[in-house]
Amino acid sequence: MTPLAQLSLDITWDATLRNVILGSMILGLTSGVLGTFAVLRRQSLIGDALAHAALPGICIMFMITGTRSSELLLLGGALSGLVGTLVLLAVTRWSFVKQETALGLVLSVFFGFGILLLTRIQHSGNSAQSGLDRFIFGQAATILPRDVAVMGIVAAVAIGVVILLFKELKVVTFDPAFAASIGMRPDLLGVVLAGLLVLAVMIGLQTVGVILMVSLLIAPAVAARQWTTSLAGMVILSGIFGMASGVAGSVISSLVDRLPTGPMIVIAASIIVIFSLLLAPQRGVLATYRVRRSRARRFRAELALTDHHGVSRT
């Protein structure tokens, strides 16, 4: 039996694999759509700080409730992710520390604290402890049908908000001063986008984990920008690239033994990025190189012509 035939059999019969693929698709779609705005607003790394800052929240939620349910743990993660983001914004606003420095600060302090808590939990002898480390690099196999349902609902809400507020998000992202002058609220919409980003990150923590999550926000959007000339096109394409990465990553990791799903999804997305950066028709490296070379050749030809006619070029 060919691997592909085997796979189609697996998907039909294997509920776990079906959950993984479905979950990865939802994750890719959501992070692709929201990553577009994060990238265009130059805030993609805020997603990184947010994801890392989720870890202590997950641990504290576990320590308080002793639960293993993903929803509760992710709720804890969302809360501490939000706290991390607020600290980041506050440090940037009220101190002389620059944003990228504050980013590094928040990211490492929160993540370090999370690891500290995680180590304590793992040495506490609590039998339910196993599995918390799945949030670091992600462990797609732990995704349950219930998790997929929650992910689906969260994704629907996030994408619904983007569709509803598309015009507003567009003008606020492109020209915030003008947007404010016509009565839009850049500050409010910024908060909405940050909230949606939190949702996207929470969807991804179980699959790709806090460390790799940011790449799913950035990669599909960067790739999509290469191929399209409109924001709607970029959002849709980025969602499709994200979904494709999710499916490809989870399928490949199921076909090959001992290949982790999360990192595989990230690698799939990265391959799409490399392909797009090189080959996109107008913005691709090859296209720009070709245009520049033909232009230089044309100039040289013209210059040779003027030289030939004895016209001084100095």
Partner 1 sequence: MTQATLTNVQTVPPLAKSVIEVRDLTVAYNESPVLWDLDLDIEPGKATAIVGPNGAGKSTLLKAILGLVPIAAGATRVYGAHLDTVRNRVAYIPQRGTVDWDFPTTALDVVTMGRYGRIGWFRRPGKADRAIAEECLAKVGMSGFAKRQISQLSGGQQQRVFLARALAQEADLYLMDEPFVGVDAVTERAIVELLHAVRDAGNTVVAVHHDLESVPAYFDNVVLLNVRLVAAGPVASVFTEENLRRTYHAPANPIGADGTTTTVRAGSEMAPVKAMLR
Q: How far is the CB of 197 from partner 1 (least distance, A)?
A: 19
Handedness of CA 304, 308, 309, 314 (dihedral sign): positive
Q: How far is the CB of 167 from partner 1 (least distance, A)?
A: 6
Q: Are 193 and 37 in contact (CB under 8 A)?
A: yes
Q: How far is the CB of 313 from partner 1 (least distance, A)?
A: 25
Judged by CB, which is closer to partner 1: 178, or 299? Answer: 178
d(CA 105, CA 221): 26
Judged by CB, which is closer to partner 1: 64, or 232? Answer: 232
Judged by CB, which is closer to partner 1: 109, or 231? Answer: 231
Q: How far is the CB of 235 from partner 1 (least distance, A)?
A: 9
Query: Residue 118's CB: how many other CB atoms inside 10 A?
Result: 20
Structure tokens at 118: 């995680």
Judged by CB, which is closer to partner 1: 173, or 245? Answer: 173
Judged by CB, which is closer to partner 1: 10, or 175? Answer: 175
Give me the helices (H) in the chain, please: 3-13, 15-40, 44-65, 70-94, 99-122, 134-137, 145-164, 166-174, 176-181, 186-205, 209-227, 231-255, 261-279, 285-308
Which residues here bind partner 1, judged by CB under 8 A?
A: 40, 164-165, 167-168, 170-171, 173-175, 177-184, 225, 228-231, 233-234
Q: How far is the CB of 180 from partner 1 (least distance, A)?
A: 5
Q: Are 216 and 245 in contact (CB under 8 A)?
A: yes
Judged by CB, which is closer to partner 1: 18, or 170? Answer: 170
Q: How far is the CB of 159 from partner 1 (least distance, A)?
A: 16
Q: How far is the CB of 164 from partner 1 (least distance, A)?
A: 6
Judged by CB, which is closer to partner 1: 110, or 241? Answer: 241
Judged by CB, which is closer to partner 1: 72, or 171? Answer: 171
Q: How far is the CB of 88 from partner 1 (least distance, A)?
A: 22
Concatenating the DSSP letter of every residue in 191-242 gives: HHHHHHHHHHHHHHHTTTHHHHHHHHHHHHHHHHHHH-SSHHHHHHHHHHHH
Q: Are 32 and 159 in contact (CB under 8 A)?
A: no
d(CA 300, CA 305): 8
Q: How far apart are the first and last CA of the chain?
A: 74
